[in-house]
Amino acid sequence: MDESTGRVFAGRAAIAHLVPSPWDRGRFVDALGEWRGRPIELMAVEADALPGVWGPVRGTPCGLWLDTVAADVIAYAAGTTDFHVDQIIAHEAGHMVLDHDAGADGLTGLAELLPDVDLATIRRVLRRSEFADHQEDEAELFADLLLSSTSRWRASRPMRSFWGDQ
């Protein structure tokens, strides 16, 4: 196993006890925030605002982690499926647990997207969009591993409507 994969497995093991079964997004976010010693805020943002956040070269993010002075903020596109929101949250949790760092540069567009967040309080920002670097690869693997043990307890809205609420 290479060093990067080992870090991901170790990070997943470190918080395995925080993952509720059956899956409950709110309980997980609260437990992760307590483990980190700071609150985690979830923020749905209008998807049409997301393309301008990074500019045309970097792609459209579907999730952002903002490490602010007071809290961690996970922003995701409003209107996406619950299943996808969970994947975004798990991915951004991966950035947190693995202590990824992208700095506070590249904040263009964030004031418009997140008007309630004081940009001066942001210490670092990472996004879930393209997976071109090792931190994005690690965070996505972390999310897949984190949610793999809960997948049978998670059902997307389309699957519930197909099978009925069970």
The per-residue pLDDT for range 118-130, each reduced to its tens digit, is 766 766 666 554 4
pTM of the model: 0.76
Prior bond to 20 cis, omega within 30? no
Q: What is the pLDDT of residues 14-60, one digit of tens each?
A: 999 999 988 999 999 999 999 999 999 999 987 665 554 444 444 45
Dump strand ranges (E) for the chain.
40-45, 63-68, 72-77, 122-128
| Residue 67, token pair as written in the block | 């490490």
| Residue 55, token pair as written in the block | 């500019």
Residue pair 54/105 in contact (Cβ under 8 Å)? The answer is no
Tallying the residues shown for the chain, one arrives at: 166
CA distance 143 to 7: 13
Residue 164 carries which side chain, given as an amino acid letter?
G
